[in-house]
Amino acid sequence: MKKTFGILGAIIIVGLILYKFFVGFYNTGITYQEDAKTAWSKVESAYQRRYDLIPNLVSTVKGYAEHEKSTLEAVIKARASATQVKIDPSNITPEQMAKFQQAQQGLGGALGRLLVSVEKYPELKADKNFLELQSQLEGTENRIKIERDRFNEAVNVFNKHIKRFPGNMLAGMFGFKEMARFQADKGAEKAPNVDFTK
């Protein structure tokens, strides 16, 4: 009788240990995954701020630089294209991330061309509204970079959790998949030199 209780007690203890391990892995994974999703929503919010600034920037430039029509249209088209690319934060794949980044690069390039074209218009460069928009856009670009870095950090924590042993054997069982990170744009190691003071 004592032996039976001993075996039963050992089985219960092992069962509780296994239960705690499985529940602990799952709950920690969910926490890290939700942290990464929250970080992604902050990335989207920073990009949305950029999208919101663009119409005002375009209309301000249009008032001074009417014959830059093709440049302005390129910015509007790139903005529309970038806002169409959506990512499901619960399933961020490398392909989705690449498509998102490509759309953002297109918008960034169009904005860069617009800001370079402004060099031809000294009265625009001195316009208070333009200077304010330019400052807000610069601040927004900084926010985007910060939020992308924070997102990558959150994804890194989640990915390590599901890839380390023995969690890597449980990840599939709980539906955890590796999340994609932001990658540096090609040529990003060379920062463009744009001087608006000339």
Cis peptide leading into 89, omega within 30 of 0? no
Give 14-62 pLDDT, tens digit per residue: 888 888 888 999 999 999 999 999 999 999 999 999 999 999 998 888 8
Cis peptide leading into 166, omega within 30 of 0? yes
Give 139-184 pLDDT, tens digit per residue: 999 999 999 999 999 999 999 999 999 889 889 889 999 999 988 7
Number of domains within the chain: 1
Any idea what DSSP says for residue 175?
A: T
Query: Has residue 198 been placed in a domain?
Result: no
Query: Has residue 178 been placed in a domain?
Result: no
pLDDT reading at 193 higher than 90: no
Query: Has residue 150 been placed in a domain?
Result: yes
Query: Has residue 71 been placed in a domain?
Result: yes
Query: Has residue 160 been placed in a domain?
Result: yes
Query: Has residue 133 been placed in a domain?
Result: yes
pLDDT confidence of residue 102: 92
pLDDT confidence of residue 191: 47
Residue-number span of the structural domain to which 60 is assigned: 2-170
Query: Has residue 196 been placed in a domain?
Result: no
Query: Has residue 155 been placed in a domain?
Result: yes
Question: CB of 78 within 8 A of CB of 106?
Answer: yes
pTM of the entire predicted model = 0.81
Residue 192 in tokens: 């463009």
CATH number of domain containing 103: 1.20.1440.20
